[in-house]
Structure 1
Amino acid sequence: MTITQNTSAPLVVVVGVTGNQGGSVVKALAESDKPYRIRGLTRDVTKPAARELAAGGVETVAVALTSDNAAGAREVFKGADIVFLVTNYWEHLDVNREVAEAKMIIDAAKAAGVKLFIWSGLESIIKVSNGKYPNVHHFNGKGEITEYGRASGIPFVNVQSGWYAINFWKLNGMKPKKVEDGTYVLALPVGPQTLLPVIDTPNDYGLFVREAIESPEFGAGSEVLTSGEDITIGDMISQLSEITGKKIVYSRISDEDFTTATGLPPSVALEVLESLKYHEECGYYAGKTTEASRRHLARPTRTWADFVKSTDWSSVLA
């Protein structure tokens, strides 16, 4: 581990350090042969994940990065060379709040003289689809934040987040479900040829942030598209079936059946539905490829098959 307290090492401030992406950033920087100081921001430094990070050399700081706390944000960014920001729309489902808080953080980091600002963004689906899919707020809000960051004048890198491999394990509307004959069916409102940039986020997302910091090919003004493997939904289901030994088939269902099956409030179900339809029609990264973004990674990423093998599916495929 190369996390250090030596003041000659660059200071990286990680927002949301106990989350999937923030924790992955710490993991990747700790694997580097270059030393880093890391200041991890969280709302509760007493929770187990924060205490574990502190034991590993991370300076953990409790702060509420709400839009009315610009002074607090400027304080925690003091002395920072690099800032990593991820926002969690799903925590509150308020895209206006998400955008306002992120803009405040960008402004505070700029005021603190940060040399590199790394943002976990997503495409603006409403723009890419020419307004066809206006309700995917967790993408559209991040697209607005990306535009603001690029125009702010801060040295800005957009390290977009790929499709979480854990979605087919965790999300109720996307889990395989057992049917009467004992087989399992994974049913979605898109075709099996839909291509996704699947990533085991806790293990691999931080590799791309480290690449943005350490590789001369990236840096300020660049865009990094994260992916452990680009794979179709059909191939994902085939591999899941083969590896687990369970008979799992894919079924395309109607939009209405899918939104009902999610069990989510109608507005949230519509958001998930539109995101999937967009991925099928326009591509997760709007037709951009991930090959260049994987060119200078410090180690190989996990494939979908690797993720399946490392995950306990007994609760899903009971």
Structure 2
Amino acid sequence: MIVVTGAAGQLGRLVIKALLKTQSASEIVAAVRSPEKAADLAALGVHVRRADYNEPATLETAFKGADKVLLISSNELGQRAVQHRAAIDAAKRNGVQLIGYTSVLHADTSPLGLADEHRETEEALRASGVPFVLLRNGWYTENYTGSLAPALEHGAILGSAGDGKISSATRADYAEAAALAMTRDAQAGHIYELAGDTAYTLAELAAEVTRQSGKKVEYQNLSESDYKAALIGVGLPEVLAALLSDSSTGASKGALFDEGHQLSQLLGRPTTPLATVVAEALAV
């Protein structure tokens, strides 16, 4: 049995969808904080169990009978390392044979602030003695295409990435890779550096949006502090604005770039092209 944590989230739902292509629904557990939000998964025959990272007892129950657990990283910044350790401990007590963890690209060397909690989690996995596979995910293309409306309205994409190359892929690409890693044999010990096949700069992203929309959109490079202020100005919480501006600056240092093609190799197909994702976003 495979348990997927955070299964009601955007990535988690896509992982469940990918797993259902090869696995019986009765062998999949969707571990979610609010089971009522996963009624659609239950309707597919997937087991839905309550699992709150902040309530270790719920993790203990959710992981019962599991052979494998896909630990999708929490979105509670500053709390994740503690939450993840609770999940790892629960998996160990339940005799789980493999933990898959969605980490961040080049977590061991990444300059990104968000990498700190991923490094702590990876260390906790090593200390646990439970076999594990690391899925070090790069940036989501949707991080950019999900906010094209204001870019089109103002004719600008903002950031602090300079000319940094970004090897992004879609959530669906990463979800499919996670499903494959959790269902293939002999995955323990693997560290996958997962990223898109073709890297681009934010100026190139702006050019692609211009090409497809017919409306001139340019990339406006800001200092990290100015970009953070701009994000706060449009309503983002300060902690999220700080993370995004730090990550954008990190891109200028190569933190979001990778040319190893491990994602497409795992998938057995090319990653979803930027042009495709832009087209889908513009069609909404």
- The TM-score with structure 2 as length reference comes to 0.87
2:184, 2:159 → 1: CA distance? 38
2:126, 2:3 → 1: CA distance? 19
Aligned to 2:56: 70
Residue 121 of structure 1 aligns to a residue in which SS?
A: strand
Give, in angstroms, the shift of residue 296 of structure 1. 3.1
**Partner amino acid for 1:86?**
I
Q: 1:238 to 1:149 in 2, by over 3 A?
A: same
Aligned partners of 2:224 and 2:246 also within 8 Å:
no
User: Which of 103, 122, 139 is matched with 2:115 structurally?
Assistant: 139
Q: 1:177 to 1:219 in 2, by over 3 A?
A: same
Aligned to 1:12: 2
1:65, 1:281 → 2: CA distance? 33
Count of residue correspondences: 279
**Partner amino acid for 1:221?**
G
1:243-292: CA deviation from partner (whole Å, max 9, x where unpaired): 2222111122233321221124555433322222222214226xx54413
Aligned to 2:280: 310
1:177, 1:309 → 2: CA distance? 13
**Partner amino acid for 2:73?**
T
1:190-224: CA deviation from partner (whole Å, max 9, x where unpaired): 22x312221221x22221112323445x6111112
Q: Identity rate of aligned residues, in percent?
A: 26
Give, in angstroms, the shift of residue 12 of structure 1. 0.6
Give, in angstroms, the shift of residue 60 of structure 1. 0.8
1:155-200: CA deviation from partner (whole Å, max 9, x where unpaired): 111112221222224459x952644xxxx11122222x31222122
Aligned partners of 2:136 and 2:194 also within 8 Å:
yes
Indicate whether 1:28 and 2:21 are aligned.
no
Q: 1:31 to 1:178 in 2, by over 3 A?
A: same
1:232, 1:194 → 2: CA distance? 8
Aligned to 1:7: none
Aligned partners of 1:123 and 1:142 also within 8 Å:
no
Q: 1:24 to 1:100 in 2, by over 3 A?
A: same
Q: 1:244 to 1:35 in 2, by over 3 A?
A: same
**Partner amino acid for 1:118?**
G
Residue 196 of structure 1 aligns to a residue in which SS?
A: coil
Q: 1:306 to 1:220 in 2, by over 3 A?
A: same
**Partner amino acid for 1:17?**
A
Q: 1:178 to 1:76 in 2, by over 3 A?
A: closer
2:223, 2:142 → 1: CA distance? 23
Give, in angstroms, the shift of residue 108 of structure 1. 0.9
2:100, 2:240 → 1: CA distance? 28
1:127, 1:296 → 2: CA distance? 22
Aligned partners of 1:124 and 1:144 also within 8 Å:
no
Give, in angstroms, the shift of residue 226 of structure 1. 2.6
1:86-120: CA deviation from partner (whole Å, max 9, x where unpaired): 1333xx44x1x221111011011011111110011
More helix by share: 2
1:219, 1:26 → 2: CA distance? 19
1:99, 1:261 → 2: CA distance? 29
User: Which of 28, 43, 53 is matched with 1:55 structurally?
Assistant: 43
2:52, 2:107 → 1: CA distance? 29
Q: 1:31 to 1:148 in 2, by over 3 A?
A: same
Indicate whether 1:251 and 2:220 are aligned.
yes
Indicate whether 1:227 and 2:195 are aligned.
yes
Aligned partners of 1:83 and 1:114 also within 8 Å:
yes
User: Which of 177, 187, 190 is matched with 2:161 structurally?
Assistant: 190
Aligned partners of 1:65 and 1:73 also within 8 Å:
yes
Aligned partners of 2:224 and 2:249 also within 8 Å:
no
User: Which of 68, 89, 110 is matched with 1:107 structurally?
Assistant: 89
Aligned to 1:176: 151
Q: 1:313 to 1:256 in 2, by over 3 A?
A: farther
**Partner amino acid for 1:26?**
I
Unaligned runs of at least 5 residues, structure 1: 1-10
Aligned partners of 1:150 and 1:221 also within 8 Å:
no
Aligned to 1:274: 246
Aligned to 2:263: 293
Residue 107 of structure 1 aligns to a residue in which SS?
A: helix
2:150, 2:106 → 1: CA distance? 26
Aligned to 1:5: none
Q: Which has the larger radius of gyration?
A: 1
